[in-house]
Amino acid sequence: MCERGMLAQTSGFGMTEHGLAWLAELGIDMEALRAARRPLVRPCLDWTERRPHLAGSVAASMCTRFFDNGWIERIGSDRAVRVTPTGRSALGEALGIPDSTLRR
C-alpha cells in the first residue's frame, strides 16, 4: 500500500486520499471507518513473524472485505489466513503484489 501511494509512513501510518478512494472502491463504508473508536490505521508488530503489519479500523475492514470477496480464507488457528487464487489475482492487480509472494 505504501508503494502504491495508499498509505503514508511519515510519522506512523496514515491513509492517503488515494488509499481512502481505493477502500471506497472496495465497498468499505468510509463513514463507519471514521466513526470507529479504534484508530483509522496504526502499525503493529506481528509477534510470530517479527514484522510490522497494518492495524486499526482500516485493517479490520479490509480483512472483512477480503473474506467477503473470497480473497482470503482461514487455515488452522483463528488467526492464520491463506490468500486464495482469486485473492492472488485481485491483490496482484490492485497492489502489484507478485503472485509468488502471496503463495507462502
Task: Walk along the chain (104 residues) in steps of 10 and give the mean pLDDT of each run.
Answer: 86 86 89 85 80 86 93 84 90 81 67
- Determine the Cα–Cα distance for residues 58 and 75; give it in Å rounded to an integer: 22
CB contact burial 59-94 (16+ within 10 A = b; e otherwise): bebbeebbeeeebbeeeeeeeebebbeebbebbeee
SS3 66: helix
Q: What is the pLDDT of residue 63?
A: 92
When divided into structural domains, the chain yields a total of: 1
Residue 70 CA to chain centroid, in angstroms?
Answer: 14
The answer to the question of residue 84 being in a domain is: yes
Question: How far is CA 5 from its chain centroid?
Answer: 14
Q: Which three cell numbers stand for residue 15?
A: 491513509
Q: What is the pLDDT of residue 73?
A: 93
Whole-angstrom Cα Rg for the chain: 14
Domain that holds residue 27: 7-96
- Alpha-carbon span 30 to 70, nearest angstrom: 21
14 within domain boundaries: yes
pLDDT at 44: 82
- Kindly state whether residue 72 falls inside one of the protein's structural domains: yes
